[in-house]
Amino acid sequence: MRKILFFMLLLVQLTAATAFAYTNKEDGFKTQSPSSANYVEAVGKHFYGFIDDNGAAAGYTECLSSEQASKFLGVPFSTAAFDKTYSDILLLQRNGISNERINQLVAEPVVSPLFAFAENEEPDYLISAQKFGSNKYIAVTFNVNPETEPVTIYYTSANDKLYMLMAEQQTAVSNAVENRPENTIGVIGGADGPTDIYVKDNVLAKETNKTFLKKFKTVKPVDKNTVFTFGEKTANVKVTLPDDWFYVQLADSRYNEEAVGITVAMPQEAMALILKEALDIGVTDIESAVIASQAAAADKSISAELTDKKDDIMDIFRHGIIILSVKATDKSFSDFVFDNPNKTAYGVNEALEDIKAALIEQGTEFKTFAYNTDFKDGQGSFSLQTELKPAETDFYYTLVAEGKVIGKAAYLAFVFDRNGDDENTALKFWNGKTLLKD
């Protein structure tokens, strides 16, 4: 079965109605962003994607480079050239011309570096002209067969820029259906009594998120290089990133009514390596990711194969910033931490030493391991800096960790760079962080 793999699709398949928020001034576009407190965002210098509230909908927008845009049409790109191709496709559609003829009007249907296909696969596709609101799209639909859900990429243009969008939402399901047992999506009557209708893994059917496509807007691009940053509200920090990095940010307030946050920032090169490794082990979507993880847990040979690829997998993680945060609804945790600050500090020190001992036992080597803790007056913090070589690898990392507890909020940050690279990129940008707000 042919499948298309795209980094955002792994997120999109988890994916809710949204409201305007995200603007990319340099690339000249505005799009919807999450409207709830529970979401996932994936953001790069030239792309933005989101999943909103419990997987009801998702959207993705990428501004392609002029070189990539020219590959799409096969000629030097301009909005005028795009509009002409759109009109030609529409004319052929209305006159019932074959799909093969229409497909010839687009030179390369996939030009984003964030797309990847499984080796030796060239999925079939259909090209069409579509319009949502005032926006004209050249749509490329892959995997049009009864066995798989189609995946559609939408292209539009303004100001001589080419934009690529994906938009998906779950189809509406009535309360009567939602209240059926797990995996049951309906009941039909029959001579032998009612019969349940099941859907695999209780995954609701997907449809195009037309609102996202309608509300996409273009604005005049700002003719200057804008700084690429991310903010973490609980940690109250803003971090500037290199232009060739991306970050994924998750926010969830459904766990014991506490606001939990996870932010991961890495080079985009790592994204390509993640795609390659995922394809190599047969992961093409959320369903296959779950199947692969279950198989690895049950089959020692698969676990051994992953161990053999450890260097390839570790090569993905050359530089990175990871922030875990939580904001509680009450002060119970804070009261526990500061009821006896000296005891808390001792406990943190002891835990760090225990972690070091466990890692050494597993084969990790340390050059340095220095830490400091400070808990007093309702504020607590710790910092750690170490150089370590993970077990069964041939390279050292510089790792900096820091954590803080202030009132009801706490965060833990890990910043790492692989030694031997040109510079400690992650640490440099983390040290240059500023306060998100005073």
What ranges do the domains of the chain cover?
Answer: 4-171+205-218, 229-435
pLDDT score at 438: 54
Contact 61, 30 (CB under 8 A): no
Q: What is this structure's pTM?
A: 0.79
Contact 127, 103 (CB under 8 A): yes
pLDDT score at 337: 86
If you ran DSSP here, which 8-state letter would residue 191 be given? T
Burial letters for 289-321: b for 16+ Cβ neighbours within 10 Å, e otherwise? beebeeebeeeeebeeeeeeeeeeebbbbbbbb
pLDDT score at 271: 74
CA distance 5 to 13: 11
Instruction: State the 10-residue block means of pLDDT for the chain, 438 residues long.
Output: 41 41 91 82 92 77 95 96 97 92 94 74 86 95 70 94 87 42 34 34 59 92 88 92 92 77 90 64 51 58 58 79 90 84 92 95 95 88 94 90 90 93 83 83
Contact 216, 156 (CB under 8 A): yes
Alpha helices in 59-157 (DSSP H): 66-73, 79-94, 99-103
pLDDT score at 34: 80
CA distance 357 to 355: 5
CA distance 210 to 273: 32
Strand partners, 251: 39, 261
CA distance 331 to 337: 10
Helix-strand-coil split of the chain, %, nearest 5: 30, 40, 35
CA distance 213 to 353: 53
Strand partners, 30: 23, 217
* Encoded tokens for 69: 């845009």
Contact 16, 57 (CB under 8 A): yes
Q: Which amino acid is at 331?
A: K
pLDDT score at 37: 78
* Encoded tokens for 344: 């808390």
CATH 3.40.1000 assigned to 4-171+205-218: yes
pLDDT score at 393: 85
Strands (E), 234-364: 237-240, 245-255, 258-267, 319-327
pLDDT score at 379: 85
